[in-house]
Amino acid sequence: MPEFRRDPVTGRWVIISSERAKRPQDFIRERVTQKGGFCPFCPGNESKTPPEVLAYRPGNGTPPDSPGWTVRVVPNKYPALRVEGNLDRQAEGIYDRMNGVGAHEVIIETPEHELTLATMPEKRIEDALYAFRDRIVDLKRDNRLKYVLVFKNHGEAAGATMEHTHSQLIALPIVPRQVVEELKGARDYHALKDRCIYCDIVHQEIKSQVRVVLENEHFLVVAPYAPRFPFETWVIPKRHDSAYENSPPANYKELASAMRSLASKMDLVLDGPAYNMVIHSAPVMDSPTEHYHWHVEFMPKLTKVAGFEWGTGFYINPTSPEESAKFLRQAKR
């Protein structure tokens, strides 16, 4: 059983993942592992993953766990967390632990092994966005789960261990600290101004234009004012909504278009960088609020997080957002 453990000083939770248990030799071997060969995410290999929890099969449809799907969602074969059981919160002397209860799923966005967010048809991305929502809505019904995180690791440097493009979803029994901080910041700002901070960001950025990468009817793609990483870029809905799953699905087409353009611009400017994509959204149990505003953050992996960042929580970024936005704005295939 995986285990949550709490750092007694900072309150930071970590997951000690027994399912993925690694001994020293595993880390050493990993450095020389070659990719390629068999892919469990490719059509025809459905039996090599746990049974699917969701799949879109166009037309008359094909049976579960067989080819014919366009998007397929399966539990992670080596989950960081387990759906079964209860939290069983306990003390260990001065320390705190609980069972690693939660869900960990993989969203396979396309049957085609070599496509990426930048090269797959827009309709595939749109379908994946629907799949994210469908899974969140389903997991929400489990009231042990307080937060659902959807993210994508693209490229080995960004932590991807499978080449076939996919996103992941982790449902957690606690609202993570990073989210708590964002919620608190947004709530404090709203208390002061009676406005949503993200709505204010959208207005100021559209007005000044210096950090705007692109814009469509419903979304703004912008380099944030204080980016942690070079070429960090956010996709913010213009319409206020606190949770991804409550935003109008009619807008997913435009979100897919914005995400695909951004990924394609990053490929052009940075020669196909590794990146992390994270959907920031309100906790699943919360009612809609006026202060929080969901959005998507893209972080290309161009620099190393080092001692300074670990020691301070600050980041040193060698590229200003005004400059990165200019490069991305001008990039055209």
Beta carbon of residue 35, minimum distance to a copy of itself (angstroms, whole number): 15
Check if the beta carbon of residue 199 is closer than 8 Å to that of residue 186: no
Check if the beta carbon of residue 142 is closer than 8 Å to that of residue 161: no
Return the number of the residue (19 or 142) whose C-beta is nearest a copy of itself: 19
Check if the beta carbon of residue 196 is closer than 8 Å to that of residue 186: yes
Residue of 170, 235, 256, 282 that binds a copy of itself (CB under 8 A): 170
* Site map 31..50 versus a copy of itself, x via CB under 8 A: --------------------
Edge-to-edge strand ranges of the sheet holding 275-280 = 54-56, 71-75, 103-108, 166-172, 147-154, 275-280, 295-300, 233-237, 219-222, 212-215
Return the number of the residue (185 or 288) whose C-beta is nearest a copy of itself: 185
Q: Which amino acid is at 290?
A: E
Q: Interface with a copy of itself by CB under 8 A: which range of 63-71, 132-140, 171-179, 248-256?
A: 171-179
- Whole-number Å distance between alpha carbons of 311 and 121: 42
Check if the beta carbon of residue 256 is closer than 8 Å to that of residue 129: yes
Q: Is residue 286 near a copy of itself by the rule CB under 8 A?
A: no
Q: Is residue 136 near a copy of itself by the rule CB under 8 A?
A: no
- Is 166 marked active-site? yes
Residue of 267, 297, 325, 329 that binds a copy of itself (CB under 8 A): 297
Q: Tell me how long the chain is.
A: 333
* Torsion from C-alpha of 18, 85, 140, 125, nearest 10 degrees: 30
Q: Interface with a copy of itself by CB under 8 A: which range of 36-44, 48-56, 165-173, 256-264?
A: 165-173
Return the number of the residue (69 or 231) whose C-beta is nearest a copy of itself: 231
Size of the site for a copy of itself (CB under 8 A): 93
Q: Is residue 311 near a copy of itself by the rule CB under 8 A?
A: yes
Q: Is residue 162 near a copy of itself by the rule CB under 8 A?
A: no
Beta carbon of residue 207, minimum distance to a copy of itself (angstroms, whole number): 8
* Residues within window 219-248 making contact with a copy of itself, judged by CB under 8 A: 224-228, 230-231
Find, among 279, 59, 43, 36, the residue nearest to 156 by Cα: 36
Beta carbon of residue 318, minimum distance to a copy of itself (angstroms, whole number): 4
Q: Where are the alpha helices (DSSP H) in 20-101?
A: 24-30
Burial class of residue 29 in the structure, from the number of CB atoms within 10 Å of its CB (0-12 exposed, 13-18 middle, 19+ buried): exposed
Return the number of the residue (20 or 35) whose C-beta is nearest a copy of itself: 20
Find, among 249, 239, 241, the residue nearest to 288 by Cα: 241
Q: Is residue 157 near a copy of itself by the rule CB under 8 A?
A: yes
* Residues within window 96-125 making contact with a copy of itself, judged by CB under 8 A: none
* Residues within window 243-282 making contact with a copy of itself, judged by CB under 8 A: 269-271, 273, 276-280
Number of other CB atoms surrounding residue 207 within 10 Å: 9
Q: Is residue 159 near a copy of itself by the rule CB under 8 A?
A: yes
Per annotation, catalytic residue among 166, 218, 240, 293: 166
Residues with catalytic roles? 166
